[in-house]
């Protein structure tokens, strides 16, 4: 009887042991499966809501070192959480903006280089401060080109925007988005969440700046459905402005430029291309032959480095053209950059930009024209919810503007091509992007590294020290 008891006990223990082994293997399989569903987040940071810092202390970034027509890719310190309201975003896709070209030319930026570049990006949160309530590790986000200021303002003023990314210490020194990682202050109010069922980084990327800015240019001009619109400049902002006008019901949209590829791109979305350098005359002459009374709205999307009919620099030329072509009671929006900073180490050609420009006030007065201008506050401006829903619904598809996709090591070449008008919009894709880059140009597209986080990086050098002269957070006026 005792022997039977021991035999039964042995069998029970054997069965229990087998069950334990099966449960252990199932648990391990569940953990592996859970991790495999988070390829875009740090595996180390998935274990806690605050994230865990990786051992690597440097990252690759596009850096301006104060040499006109040169950009570098350097190892720089990886950003860290400084305040409890911060978040660290691992950039998946960034873009080169027309404003970046002003820095590339040596006419815009902070006085003290170097600094990391870029202010258009989307990415995934890999670390959050203890006070963050609305985001968590693993969330996909849009990074608007300036951060929140950290306090409530009843007015939406330029001074109430936080730091501008990628412009150096004089503009807040929050680092640049053309880098592997970015620190975002006041992240709860600075970031915009991307829906879980997103289809592509590229459609969301341009809500960080170019599409929202372009849409707002029409608001500056007091656009209404049915208006005829003249958009000066068919670069990224101008093309997005023309596209916005078409989406909003413009009767006609004229896109003005002298670069054939850009004019062809404008025609492809339904705009009427106008070559302002052609023998047919200036842009205003060509449009007024079609619209004798002029157009209701004009939007300037070029800025202070504009060219005249003879393709010579003339800083007030495009603004004067908008006045000529806009009809009585019409409106003008100015989106181009007009900031004269003078010469410095960071702006070695800054003296080329005039601090004062002349325009014809009598012409504006006679035609009763209104004018709106200034940088757009992407984070706070009321237009964001509207354009966000356009993209979410699929009504607005923004990736059509992209002509090339490159890896970060090829960014300097991309700047050169963009500056020479060989590209319309270049995006930088990083190694951990899940989807395969799509070739959208007839030109060769640099392959994005797929070998892992480190990719095929060359031997590391000492990290570049980025200027850290960060201004204190702005506070509301007491007066």
Q: Which candidate in 92, 93, 102, 216 is catalytic?
A: 102
Nearest of 180, 64, 51, 153 to residue 111 by alpha carbon: 64
**99 is annotated as an active-site residue:** yes
**102 is annotated as an active-site residue:** yes
Backbone angles phi, psi at 44, to 5 degrees: -65, -35
Q: What is the 3-state secondary structure (H, E, C) of 92-148?
A: EEEECCHHHHHHHCCCCCCCCCCEECCCEEEEEEEEECCCCCCCCCCCEEEECCECC
DSSP assignment of 240-305 equals HHHHHHHHTT-SEEEEEES-HHHHHHHHHTT-EEEETTSTT--HHHHHHHH-TT-EEEEEE-S-TT
Which three-class secondary structure state does DSSP give residue 236?
helix
Q: Which candidate in 92, 93, 99, 282 is catalytic?
A: 99
DSSP assignment of 368-395 equals T-EEEES---TTTSTHHHHHHHHHHHTS
Half-sphere exposure (CA, 13 Å, Cβ side) for 251?
8
CA distance 116 to 62: 6
Cβ-contact 120, 206 below 8 angstroms: yes
Could you tell me how many residues make up the chain? 479
Q: Which token pair is 290?
A: 């079609």
Pairing of strands 72-77, 58-64: antiparallel
Give, as one character, the DSSP assignment of residue 75: E
Q: Which pairs with CB-CB distance under 8 Å and at least 24 residues apart come from 318-321?
A: 318/232, 318/233, 319/357, 319/359, 320/359, 320/360, 321/232, 321/256, 321/276, 321/282, 321/283, 321/284
Q: Distance between alpha carbon 127 and the CA centroid of its chain, in Å?
A: 21
Nearest of 164, 205, 177 to residue 471 by alpha carbon: 164
Residue whose tokens read 């939406």: 156
- Residues annotated catalytic, as ranges: 99, 102
């Amino acid at each position: 009887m005792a022997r039977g008891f021991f035999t039964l006990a042995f069998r029970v223990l054997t069965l229990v042991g087998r069950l334990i082994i099966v449960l252990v293997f199932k648990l391990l399989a569940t953990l592996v499966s859970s991790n495999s569903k988070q390829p875009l987040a740090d595996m180390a940071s998935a274990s806690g809501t605050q994230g865990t810092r990786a051992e690597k202390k440097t990252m690759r970034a596009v850096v301006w070192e104060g040499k006109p027509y040169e950009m570098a890719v350097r190892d720089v310190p990886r950003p860290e959480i400084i305040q409890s309201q911060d978040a660290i975003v691992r950039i998946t896709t960034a873009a080169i903006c027309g404003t970046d070209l002003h820095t590339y030319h040596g006419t815009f930026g902070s006085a003290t280089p170097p600094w990391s570049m870029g202010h258009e990006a989307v990415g995934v949160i890999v670390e959050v401060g203890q006070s963050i309530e609305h985001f968590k590790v693993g969330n996909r986000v849009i990074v608007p080109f300036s951060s929140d200021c950290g306090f409530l303002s009843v007015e939406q003023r330029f001074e109430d925007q936080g730091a501008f990314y990628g412009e150096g210490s004089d503009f807040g020194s929050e680092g640049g988005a053309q880098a592997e990682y970015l620190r975002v202050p006041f992240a709860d109010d600075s970031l915009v969440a991307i829906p879980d069922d997103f289809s592509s980084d590229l459609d969301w990327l341009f809500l960080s700046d170019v599409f929202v800015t372009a849409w707002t240019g029409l608001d500056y001009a007091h656009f209404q459905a049915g208006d005829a619109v003249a958009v000066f400049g068919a670069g990224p902002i101008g093309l997005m402005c023309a596209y916005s006008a078409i989406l909003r019901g413009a009767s006609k949209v004229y896109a003005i430029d002298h670069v054939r590829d850009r004019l062809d791109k404008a025609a492809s979305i339904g705009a009427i291309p106008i070559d302002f350098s052609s023998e047919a005359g200036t842009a205003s002459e060509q449009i007024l032959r079609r619209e004798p009374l002029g157009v209701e709205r004009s939007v300037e999307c070029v800025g202070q480095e504009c060219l005249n009919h003879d393709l010579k620099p003339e800083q007030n030329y495009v603004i004067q053209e908008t006045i000529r072509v806009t009809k009585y009671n019409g409106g003008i929006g100015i989106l181009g950059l007009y900031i004269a900073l003078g010469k410095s180490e960071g702006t070695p050609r800054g003296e080329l930009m005039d601090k004062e420009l002349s325009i014809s006030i009598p012409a504006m007065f006679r035609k009763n024209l209104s004018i709106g201008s200034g940088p757009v506050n992407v984070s706070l401006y009321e237009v964001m919810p509207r354009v966000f829903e356009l993209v979410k619904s699929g009504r607005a598809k923004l990736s059509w503007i992209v002509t090339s996709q490159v890896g970060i090591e090829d960014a300097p070449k991309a700047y050169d091509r963009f500056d020479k008008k060989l590209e319309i919009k270049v995006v930088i894709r990083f190694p951990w992007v899940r989807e395969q880059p799509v070739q959208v140009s007839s030109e060769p597209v640099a392959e994005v590294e797929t070998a892992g986080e480190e990719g095929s990086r060359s031997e590391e050098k000492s990290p570049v020290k980025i200027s850290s002269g960060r201004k204190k957070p702005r506070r509301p006026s007491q007066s």
